[in-house]
Amino acid sequence: MLVRKLLVAGNWKMNGSIQSASSLASGLLSAIRDGIGYDVVVFPPFVHLPMVAHRLQGSHLQWGGQNVSAHSKGAFTSEISAGMLKELGCQWVLAGHSECRHYGQESNELVAKKFAQALGQGLMPVLCVGETYEQRESAETEAIIWSQIDAVLTEVGVAGLGQGVIAYEPVWAIGTGLTATAEQAQEVHQFIRSHLAVKDDIIARRMRLLYGGSCNGSNAEALFSMPDVDGGLIGGASLTVEDFMAVCQKADKLSKGE
């Protein structure tokens, strides 16, 4: 059996200041000991990245950007390239977070190009996918999620997709306090993995699938215990050391087989 290491990722969104981001990074560094059996990544706002990189440099914690340009350089005012993130020591980047898809009107095709840019710089993209409440109600969940994944498959192939991570984040659960039940999450994750297996069974079994959407210390254990849930992308509960550690402690427990 192939063991996938749990991954706990904190999406800080547009929160905090240089000072609060600095204490959060330092707090996590002292709270999460070296040699843990799961991975931890934080996604601070772009302007806090240099400071967070400085704090976490050489540690077991990793960091990444919340978005990336679909272009490598040039006249794209306000955008940040994958190369720039790489220069800041990022190993990771989010691609297609639902807030970027919604407010930034990012299409599946644009997100796929961003994913490809990240791979081109050796970054690991976290492809965020998920359905709205209306789409779930009209039984479109699987079609929506597959169209989001398929655009990336068209752009980079299954081997390219397999170099990243997929985060299933039902839009109706993000920042709402409504969490998908562990069974609902497992159902979608299993759908994703079984469809990927048709393309490449080994990649499907290796690929980490995260759940995101109001995940916190109270529901993380049930979610992460599901066979196809390999950790979480955490928004609100990643903003304090205490809340994030409550999630990490569940990953720690599960990674030790407790």
* Residue 65 lies near ligand PEP (rule: CB under 6 A): no
* Residue 144 lies near ligand PEP (rule: CB under 6 A): no
Helical (H) or strand (E) element with 232: strand 231-234
Q: Cα Rg for the chain, rounded, in angstroms? A: 17
CA nearest to 244, candidates 25, 1, 98, 87: 25
* Residue 231 lies near ligand PEP (rule: CB under 6 A): no
15-18: long-range contacts, CB 8 A cutoff, minimum separation 24: 15/45, 15/239, 16/44, 16/45, 16/48, 16/239, 18/47, 18/48, 18/51
CA distance 252 to 258: 9
* Residue 131 lies near ligand PEP (rule: CB under 6 A): no
Stretch near ligand PEP under the rule CB under 6 A, chosen from 77-85, 116-124, 130-138, 228-236: 228-236
Cross-strand bridge partners of residue 231: 7
Nearer to ligand PEP, 101 or 113 (CB): 101
Site pattern 169..198 for ligand PEP (x: CB under 6 A): x----xx-----------------------
Q: Under rule CB under 6 A, how many of the chain's residues touch ligand PEP?
A: 13
Stretch near ligand PEP under the rule CB under 6 A, chosen from 116-124, 139-147, 192-200, 230-238: 230-238
Nearer to ligand PEP, 160 or 235 (CB): 235
Q: Specify the 3-state DSSP secondary structure of 244.
A: helix
> Which residue minimizes CB distance to ligand PEP?
235
Phi, psi for residue 41 in degrees, rounded to 5: -130, 140
Shortest Å, Cβ 48 to ligand PEP: 16
Residues forming the active site: 97, 169
| Residues forming the site for ligand PEP (CB under 6 A) | 11, 169, 174-175, 212-215, 233-237
